[in-house]
Amino acid sequence: MSGQTPKSSTIDTVLEEQRVFNPPERIKETAHIRSYEEYKELYDYSIKEPEAFWAKQAELVDWIKPFKKVYEGDLVEGEHKWYLGGKLNVSANCIDRHINTWRKNKAAIIWQGEKRDETRVLTYNELYNQVCRVANTLKKWGVNKGDRVALYMPMIPELAITMLACSRIGAIHNVVFGGFSADSLRDRINDSGARILITADAGFRRGAYIPLKDNADKALEGCPGVHTCIVVKHTGADINFWTQRDKWWHHEINSPDISSVCPPEAMDSEDPLFILYTSGSTGKPKGVMHTTGGYLVYTSLTMKYIFDLKEEDTFWCTADSGWITGHSYVIYGPLALGATTLMYEGLHNYPNPDRLWQVIEKYRVSIFYTAPTIIRGLMKEDEEWVKKHDLSSLRLLGTVGEPINPEAWVWYHKVVGNEKCAIVDTYWQTETGGVIITPLPGAIPTKPGSAAMPFFGIEPAIVDSNGEECDSKDGGSLIIKRPWPGLMRGVYNAPDRFRETYLTMYPGNYFTGDGARVDEDGYYWLLGRVDDVLNVSGHRLSTAEIESALVSHNKVAEAAVVGYPHDIKGEGIYAYVLLKNNAKASSELRAQLGQHVRKVIGPVASPDKIHIVEQLPKTRSGKIMRRILRKIASGEFEQLGDTSTLSNPESVDELIKTREE
């Protein structure tokens, strides 16, 4: 862990922001929670009477067998359990309970492909049939309760269907983002011990193919445990097909021996639901594990109150389901509440910068949830791209993934929301299962750049580097003082890693890894990571992971990776690279190194700048001084601080002179 000083460039702007926006009247009139007082009363109750509060919220979910105890455990040992003794099934909650009502023929998933004319609508009843067929197919290929299933898919309905099918039979899904490389996929499959992979021939990106099956083939060369690979025919791209291992999805699920009925497995509340790998401050991604009962209650509750979800809403979260946002708020949250969720395969600016606005107009989307990086990218374009579309269906706008700079917030409010929509800047993490700090749209006035206040049951605090609660106005590290149902249960395959990574820094508390401050009105302002995790376009990457990818290149001796402020991406990746003796710096080599990182991790991790250096600034004990590297990458040469403790102080001037602009 490096120092406790937040690195984000947003700090300067958020410190100056003073504006306050009250909830729009039309939202206030109909919202689930309509005043600050109502929020505060329920919040205080959730903290004072957690057992009663969480017992009541569990009514959002259908239980096969009622739970006996609401929770047990704490954040000292890290063992926390929720809804003990309860039995339920997530897919039954997301599907079966709706098909016995008028929702049977309601659109569950509206899918929009990258091509304008590629659309599909699945009603809850259709979703039921498909999920049962896939669940039975998985069983046929040997998947039992507790087995892991790896998914490597584009944003198509089959991804949601497979996740739900896994949950139906009690299998644990492990979705790997389609933008990750074959190597990353291989490691995640092996760590999870999955024996079956579901993929597609390819995905689309800017009209070209993303070769998912080719990548899967390469990955599976290193996965001896995988016996079956089921392939969705999505693009029609040419692929290799090894009939002993590969099966076509459409053949399998429509095979005469596959029934369209599959009774849901009664799962224990604490049975794992999924694993999702995410980067921390070490080089090895962690398999964050979420379980059944607590996760479903928490995603349902946050979905209802934060997005103020109503029966007639069309909800669109643009996140890929390879990330936690796409798990909780494209699939589980909306479907558990019987909503219509929109799934989109494609980019926000292809073929034109009005793609998102055109989709909102087409489906009359009422709640729209995206990332600040996308907003920043689109606000650079002519406003006419937005104005030419009728966005009057919008009621609520959300953001997630990184701090939003007030300029982008105000543009979102004025230009996209036409000053009529509520905005929720939602702060959370893969580990937290759902949103933990946020405004409530009808109740909490918003301040651009602030994620506002803790959600029900969440008790945050700001601590200094000694772990003492400090004057939160000055800022410090953000911790959460008690568990809640959506908090991860553990790191898959590494029983001690949950406690060691998150609970030992400030014993008895969950450490988020983020810096924050709280203003005089009790609003939280997130200030960026305080550890060696980067947030690039809302994607979480560890500097250690990128460094080890660089060092695995045969010409690289040493690498140090830091973030620097980037107008669109939030943070850009700046890599300092020291070559082996006989290697020569050249632009070809730089390009090769970029390619190498893409191959090892994936395109998301490709450095924006590669600075080939003669030496790295090190302390006398041989530790790289990252603080100085960050300042140089950001162009802040005046604030380098004390360099006298370096063993090679001359390296600093050299780095400044040769810095990559």
Does 532 sit near ligand PRX (CB under 6 A)? Answer: no
Cβ-based nearer residue to ligand PRX, 19 or 227: 19
- The CB-of-159 to ligand PRX minimum distance in angstroms stands at 18
Cβ-based nearer residue to ligand PRX, 325 or 446: 325
- Using CA atoms, how far apart are residues 283 and 597, in angstroms rounded to an integer? 13
Per CB under 6 A, which region of 44-52, 184-192, 422-430, 617-625 contacts ligand PRX?
422-430
Class of residue 544 by CB neighbours under 10 A (exposed 0-12, middle 13-18, buried 19+): middle
Cβ-based nearer residue to ligand PRX, 253 or 424: 424
- Using CA atoms, how far apart are residues 480 and 573, in angstroms rounded to an integer? 29
Q: Which of 514, 531, 545, 547 binds ligand PRX (CB under 6 A)?
A: 514
C-alpha torsion sign, points 609, 610, 616, 619: positive
- The CB-of-538 to ligand PRX minimum distance in angstroms stands at 6
- The CB-of-516 to ligand PRX minimum distance in angstroms stands at 9
Interface with ligand PRX (CB under 6 A), residue total: 22
How far, CA to CA in Å, does 290 sit from each of 272, 327, 566?
A: 6, 11, 33
DSSP-assigned beta bridge partners for residue 422: 396
Per CB under 6 A, which region of 201-209, 239-247, 397-405, 646-654 contacts ligand PRX?
397-405
Residue 120 marked in a binding site: no
Q: Which of 70, 88, 356, 400 binds ligand PRX (CB under 6 A)?
A: 400
Cβ-based nearer residue to ligand PRX, 395 or 529: 529
- Using CA atoms, how far apart are residues 618 and 641, in angstroms rounded to an integer? 14
Per CB under 6 A, which region of 105-113, 117-125, 132-140, 424-432 contacts ligand PRX?
424-432
- Phi first, then psi: give them for residue 37, nearest 5 degrees: -60, -40
Per CB under 6 A, which region of 26-34, 80-88, 140-148, 509-517 contacts ligand PRX?
509-517
Cβ-based nearer residue to ligand PRX, 166 or 480: 480
DSSP assignment of 211-247? -HHHHHHHHHHT-TT--EEEEE-SS-------TTTEE
Q: Considering only residues 449-488, where is the footprint of ligand PRX by CB under 6 A?
A: 451
| Residue 590: its H or E element | helix 587-600
Class of residue 6 by CB neighbours under 10 A (exposed 0-12, middle 13-18, buried 19+): buried
CA nearest neighbour of 539 among 319, 288, 380, 346:
319
Does 526 sit near ligand PRX (CB under 6 A)? Answer: yes
Q: Which of 442, 513, 565, 572 binds ligand PRX (CB under 6 A)?
A: 513
- Using CA atoms, how far apart are residues 31 and 310, in angstroms rounded to an integer? 9
DSSP assignment of 372-398? HHHHHHHHTS-THHHHTS--TT--EEE
Per CB under 6 A, which region of 46-54, 267-275, 419-427, 546-554 contacts ligand PRX?
419-427
CA nearest neighbour of 460 among 439, 479, 473, 474:
479
Cβ-based nearer residue to ligand PRX, 427 or 523: 427
Residue 556 marked in a binding site: yes
Does 429 sit near ligand PRX (CB under 6 A)? Answer: yes
Q: Are 454 and 524 in contact (CB under 8 A)?
A: yes
Per CB under 6 A, which region of 116-124, 252-260, 510-518, 613-621 contacts ligand PRX?
510-518
Residue 403 marked in a binding site: yes
- The CB-of-514 to ligand PRX minimum distance in angstroms stands at 5
Does 529 sit near ligand PRX (CB under 6 A)? Answer: yes
What tokens were used for 655?
């780095």
C-alpha torsion sign, points 588, 593, 596, 597: negative
CA nearest neighbour of 642 among 619, 658, 621:
619
Per CB under 6 A, which region of 18-26, 420-428, 453-461, 501-509 contacts ligand PRX?
420-428
- Using CA atoms, how far apart are residues 78 and 508, in angstroms rounded to an integer? 8
Cβ-based nearer residue to ligand PRX, 136 or 501: 501
Cβ-based nearer residue to ligand PRX, 278 or 651: 278
Cβ-based nearer residue to ligand PRX, 107 or 463: 463
Half-sphere exposure of 248 (CA within 13 A, CB side): 10
| Residue 306: its H or E element | helix 293-306
Does 501 sit near ligand PRX (CB under 6 A)? Answer: no
Cβ-based nearer residue to ligand PRX, 157 or 538: 538
3-state secondary structure of 409: helix
Site string for ligand PRX, 315-334 (x = CB under 6 A): --------xxx---------
What is the contact surface with ligand PRX in residues (CB under 6 A)?
278, 323-325, 400-403, 425-430, 451, 512-514, 526, 529, 535, 540
- Residue ranges for the known binding site for ATP are 401-403, 514, 529, 540
- Residue ranges for the known binding site for Mg(2+) are 551, 553, 556
